[in-house]
Amino acid sequence: MTLKHIKIFVTVYQEESITRAAEKLRMTQPATSLAIRELEEYYHTKLFERSGRGIRVTSAGSQLYPNAVRLLSLYDEMDAEMKNWDTSGRLRIGSSISIGSCILPQLISRFTKEYPELDLYVNVDSSDVIEQNVLENHLDFALIEGSVHSEKLKASVFLDDELVPVCSRFHPLAGAENVELDSLKNEHFLMREPHSGTRQLADSSFALKNFQIRPTWESTSTAALINAVSIGLGISILPKRMLEKQLRMHQIGSFTIRDMDLKRHYSLIYHENKFVSPTMERFFEMLTELRND
């Protein structure tokens, strides 16, 4: 058994397909299948079973996977260390969509000026996808909003934020304070997708008041929602940091809801087994500096 066998197994597990794994690894399908058979012979157990035209992981395969991912992670860290990763290696950073839109670009700009030789990879997606990528070592660390769902992740707050109810500047609610929740029952809600941190906080906060949001629009694009709100297609609940320009220029209106707490935190997350390199530590320091600005 070699590390190559482990890498092939992890890729097949993640792709749920010998064919797709072979394409991703730039190997032939027979060579990929052979590696899996050799691994199964080594452990004297089946790791995958054929299911129709695809494959299905066995309980033994499910048990092997987290240890295999951890082993590859340790190898990657060793390899990076030997290649002088602190100044010229690769750093993989994840971010939720809200943070990736309004905070991360400035951070990356500052960071690349300090480490011009460092190869940076940035992945912006919904919080749940980013969290899973950190767990599977596709990302070194990430910045997300909302709650962390795995005990294997370390999390620390680096910035405070809040959500703001917004509407068209011509809407009767524009500028209103302490709006009763019941008065929103007939409004069209334009919301982020269900698994985003923004949507999860909005849904949970409204649910505490026995109010269920039933969106007429859902989008991964905050900009699309802001545009829809501005022309009067409905109301939305969006991050304050992403609305500063539009509110300042009176392109949209805002209002407050009685007894509704929409405050939240932005968090830094990384795997509990992750070795924190000097470059990662420097990025973490920049997050602290951002909080103190």
Quick check: 97 pLDDT over 70?
A: yes
Quick check: 85 pLDDT over 60?
A: no
The CATH code for residues 83-293 is 3.40.190.290
Per the listing, tokens 């910045």 go with: 143
Confidence of residue 88 (pLDDT cuts 50, 70, 90): low
pLDDT of res. 92: 93
Give the tokens for residue 185: 């029952």
| Percentage of residues in the chain having pLDDT higher than 70 | 96
Confidence of residue 292 (pLDDT cuts 50, 70, 90): low
Quick check: 12 pLDDT over 70?
A: yes
The mean pLDDT value for 265-284 works out to 90
Q: Whose CA is closest to 164, among 98, 231, 97, 96? A: 98
Cα angle value 84/141/159 (rounded, 5°): 125
Confidence of residue 76 (pLDDT cuts 50, 70, 90): confident
What Rg do the C-alpha atoms of the chain give, in angstroms? 23
- Measured distance CA(49)–CA(52) in Å, rounded: 10
- Measured distance CA(118)–CA(99) in Å, rounded: 22
Structural fold of domain 3-81:
Arc Repressor Mutant, subunit A (1.10.10)
The mean pLDDT value for 72-84 works out to 71
Distance in Å from the first CA to the final CA of the chain:
52
pTM for the full predicted model: 0.65
200-230 burial: b if 16+ Cβ within 10 Å, else e:
bbbbebbeeeeeeeebebebeebeebbebbb
The residue ranges of every structural domain in the chain are 3-81, 83-293
- How confident is the prediction for the chain on average, in pLDDT? 89
The mean pLDDT value for 88-101 works out to 86
**8 Å CB contact between 202 and 262:** yes
pLDDT of res. 126: 87
3-class SS of residue 200: helix
Among 52-61, 80-89, 116-125, the minimum mean pLDDT is found in 80-89
SS3 content of the chain, % helix, strand, coil (to 5): 45, 25, 30
Quick check: 84 pLDDT over 80?
A: no
- pLDDT tens column, 222-272: 899 999 999 999 999 999 988 989 999 999 999 999 999 899 889 999 999
Of 187 and 146, more confident:
187
